[in-house]
A and B are shown apart, each in its own frame.
Chain A
Amino acid sequence: MTEPVRNDSAMKKILLLAFVEENGALGKPALEALSGACELAQAFGAALNVGLIGEFAQKAADSIASCGANQILAVQGPEFASARCATDSAAAVALIRAAEADFVLAPQTTRSARCMPGAAFRAKGRIDTRITGLRVDEGTLLIQRWYYRQRMVAELTRSQRPWVVLLEPGVFSPWSGGGGHAEVSIVPVEPVETRTRIAGIEPASAGTQTIRPDADLLFVAGAGWTKKQADGEVHVEEAENLIRNFLDLTHASLGSSKSLVDQSGEGQKVISLLTHMHQVGQTGSTPRHPKGLATCCHGEEPHVVGWRFINERRAVNLDPNCGWARGKADVLYVADAFAVMGKVIELLGKDAGQAAV
């Protein structure tokens, strides 16, 4: 292992880079990243700058007027209203250069993930993404990230500057300081040639929205829902109704195991609510929710890596020796999920007013 970098490579100019939402405000991930940037600026005694990209930046800048930034820079205009790599990366690199940043912190969003690697390259820097922790140790910044899809966790630092870091949600509390009037320095960007037009946003599946990143509860349906039950028959429709009712009552976010979403390719009866977007685990997503309830999932490692960032975990499953029992869930209920969820819905339905979480 090589020696950590010495203090002389510590950050002097920190740039918090964020995209302004359509409503002109800064989203929760951006405010979390701002908290992180403030902490780092303090730890290093570095100058903090903020860079904003969006159609209009003033409202967002005003909302963080008291964050202690030396200057708030912005690239704005209608071409920066929506996510598009060519325009976004041009804006980002202009801000990095204008701020002369040696460290850039941005929230990990689909928009930043698309454009920031190219921006880092153009700024002759390097980038680290999906960062789940920042820590200063003896004057050195250590970032925490995962390898092999949440199988192993590492702490590392790097010597290249500028160093761009995309911060996962949930690492810092959102910045909650006061607003005011902020001076915004508009950074000009050469007109960007792009062949891409944004046509809009579409929901992935028609009907009820079932992926809810802000929900308190993740409900994961495993392949057991579509397997033969005790009577030797499959009950996919009943399973789908139970899941749908439960989601309606709790506003939970829906996830699924790989084996269940893959069944659509095998010509089996499937739960129509589920798409590949719902897949949680090794080859799916790793959502963040305070609570997770797994039903009919075996709880093996490739699946459970998708639970890495779920705080409280419970599982309903027929096998007491299954993977969930080996220290992966807080509680494993060994029971028939059809019966349990039916009863849960009945109880939640009795007092629907209180049921929403």
Chain B
Amino acid sequence: MGPDLEKGTENPVDRLNLDVDIACVGFGPAMGGFLTTLAREMEQASGEPHVQSTVLPGMPLQVVCYERADDVNFGVSGLVTEARAIRNTFPDMNPSEIPLAHPVSEERIVYLLDPHGASRRSLGLRIADSAIRGLRWVLPYRRSALELPFIPPFLKKHGGLVMSIGQFMQWVSNQVSSSGMVQIWPGTPVGEPILEGKQVVGVRIADQGVQKDGTPDVGYMPGMDVRARLTVVGDGPVGAVGQRLDEQFGLPEGHHQHDWAVGMKVVVSLPDHCDLVPGTVLHTLGYPEPEIFGFLYVHPERIASLGIFVPSTLASPVRTVYRYLQHWMLHPYLWHHLEGGTLRSWGAKTLQESGRLGEPYLAGDGYARIGEGSGSTNVLTGSGVDEAWMTGVLLAEGVIDLLKKGEPFTQANLEAAYTNRRRKSWVETGSRKAQHARDGFRKGFVTGVLGMAVSGLTRGALNLKTRSAHPREGIPDLNQYYRDRISSEELQRIREECAKNAIPLHDALMTRAGWPEIPLDGKLLISQQDALLLGGKVQAAPGFADHVMFVDPAVCEQCGTRLCIEACSAQAIAPSPSGGTPEFDREKCIHCGACIWNCTQPRPGDRERGNIRFYAGAGGLHSAEN
């Protein structure tokens, strides 16, 4: 126990300092790769000077990792992976040792037609749908769906693994922690990086014992300053530290983070009649809206993970995910397998869909960035976990090199040791080929699919490039969006009704626009709030400030869209009864971060960002199956 701690016990309102060698933020796949690789070196080279701590002489390197979620296994991802990098790290990995993991056994891509006529389909798509229906006797068509006769090579996962990210990360954390070389601390949100000029000198843990607005309360403990020689930022696409760094340093020339999606998933106990075998991988497109992709992965023991991705290119002012997820599950092709199933878990996350083009500066003085927040996702193959893992491995290799040479973690050294490694790796090659693969979706579904096919089949040599725009652009107002379905008078009436009851609009509008009501069954088809409680087991520890803040209330006041309310995965953002700035309920938030990029109002003085600030907060999902 150091002197600072003693001081802290006497006067707990002083901000304490903790010195470590390497401070890491966010325990996801990238950090798994980083810590596993680094810990192995520390074990193997134990006692050698390069793995000795400089802050605590005589001890090994002091490496700590802070994770905001309440446990290391509360992550979310629909996960099928080639596991190229992961297997390289763990050549003897036996999937049967990881609960819910199974080798891929069967793959299918399915185009779902709209059985209700409620989705928004372009003329071209409607013609294509009619043609498919007309030829259904000769095509592999069943239950309103067309099973694609082949899988493009760039989408194949053969030889890969179906996993639960929560269980996989739990397994990784056990491997890493048992070495005793690194410490992983869940339930500890990092508030921000500590900057001295352009140098990152560590991180500041979020304050505890504060009221919702951040003012000190009973048991106030200011977040500790963890000062480090190197700060490794792997806090994902909406992480607080990554965001602050982007605000501080901007993005490299020509880069943007304009493409996003929410992935929402459920984990289901499959009904007895379901004949899907473990390792089955189903990908869907075309429904409930053409832009929405779906996935269904079958784990061992009759458990499946399934969900949808709702992208920012779905230009709807009432962009919901939950109800779309229910309609997707109810599609005859899927419901055939799911009917009678029971929801076990639920969750959602934001995906950074700009991929390589969304890459921030990968290294600076005292810090390096890894994982999804560093633009590692391959947007063509839809693969992110393995790539993220690899970036962590590459950074660890670079860091070990610098440690061996006794060189400091300056921008130049990190670029030479890490960025250059990354540029030469398969992550870079793959993401470069993929970087324009999804551009076409900005012009619509058909163009998008064509663009993806062109990029994929020519390995990125040819691309259908389009101009990138902030996701707020192209979002029509309600009247415009529903002009052919709902009169403006009726829209106004629905608006007033929903405002009166302080509920989002999307349910009422989707029903009015022709989507059938969801036949809640209390098992798999349940209300969104029940999904939070039964599936996500969402919790919010007291004593932390609200992590979603509306920057300028005046901006919210004049916002006509309030897409943040509609898009909130957990109904944690709700209309205010007074009609002004929406209200945020931390107890419901699952930290998906969708509110950041769904905000349609530019932040005063910063058009690249919306009027919502997303800080690091504790709590959220308490399910380890996602």
Interface of A toward B, CB cutoff 8 Å: 228, 230-232, 262, 265-267, 298, 300, 319, 321-323, 325-326
Contact = CB atoms under 8 A, between A and B. Distances in A.
Given A231-B577, A232-B578, A323 B530 contact: yes
B218 A323 contact: no
Contacts of B520: 321
Contacts of A319: 527, 529
Contacts of B211: 267
Contacts, number: 31
Contact of B542 (A232, A266, A325): A266
A101 B62 CA distance: 60
* Chain A to chain B: the 4 pairs with minimum beta-carbon distance, closest first: A232-B577, A321-B527, A266-B542, A326-B522
A323 B578 CA distance: 29
B217 interface: yes
Interface in B68-85: none
Interface residues of B, number: 16
A232 B576 contact: yes
A329 to B, nearest CB: 13
Contacts of A265: 218, 542-543
B449 interface: no
A321 B530 CA distance: 8
A343 B534 CA distance: 33
A262 B577 contact: no
B85 to A, nearest CB: 39
A291 to B, nearest CB: 25
Interface in B540-589: 542-543, 576-578
Contact of B529 (A262, A321, A326): A321
Contacts of A267: 211, 217-218
Contacts of A321: 520, 526-527, 529-530
Contacts of A230: 577
A148 to B, nearest CB: 15
Interface in B593-619: none
A225 to B, nearest CB: 15
B330 interface: no
Given A322-B529, A323-B533, 11 more contacts: A228-B577, A231-B577, A232-B576, A232-B577, A262-B542, A265-B542, A266-B542, A267-B218, A321-B526, A323-B530, A325-B522
Contacts of B542: 262, 265-266
A325 B526 CA distance: 12
A269 to B, nearest CB: 13
29 contacts: A228-B577, A230-B577, A231-B577, A232-B576, A232-B577, A232-B578, A262-B542, A265-B218, A265-B542, A265-B543, A266-B542, A266-B543, A267-B217, A267-B218, A298-B533, A300-B533, A300-B534, A319-B527, A319-B529, A321-B520, A321-B526, A321-B527, A321-B529, A321-B530, A322-B529, A322-B530, A323-B530, A325-B522, A326-B522
Interface in B518-540: 520, 522, 526-527, 529-530, 533-534
A89 B624 CA distance: 44
B501 to A, nearest CB: 9
Nearest to A325: B522
Contacts of A325: 522
B267 to A, nearest CB: 17
Contacts of B533: 298, 300, 323
Contacts of A298: 533
Q: Which of B526, B533, B576 has the most CB of A within 10 A?
A: B533
A321 to B, nearest CB: 4
Contacts of A300: 533-534
A267 B576 CA distance: 23
A274 to B, nearest CB: 16
A184 B218 CA distance: 58
Q: Which of A266, A300, A322 has the most CB of B within 10 A?
A: A266
Contacts of B217: 267
A232 B211 CA distance: 19
Contacts of B218: 265, 267
Nearest to B527: A321
A270 to B, nearest CB: 12
A228 B522 CA distance: 27
Contacts of A322: 529-530
A273 to B, nearest CB: 21
A232 B529 CA distance: 20
Contacts of A323: 530, 533
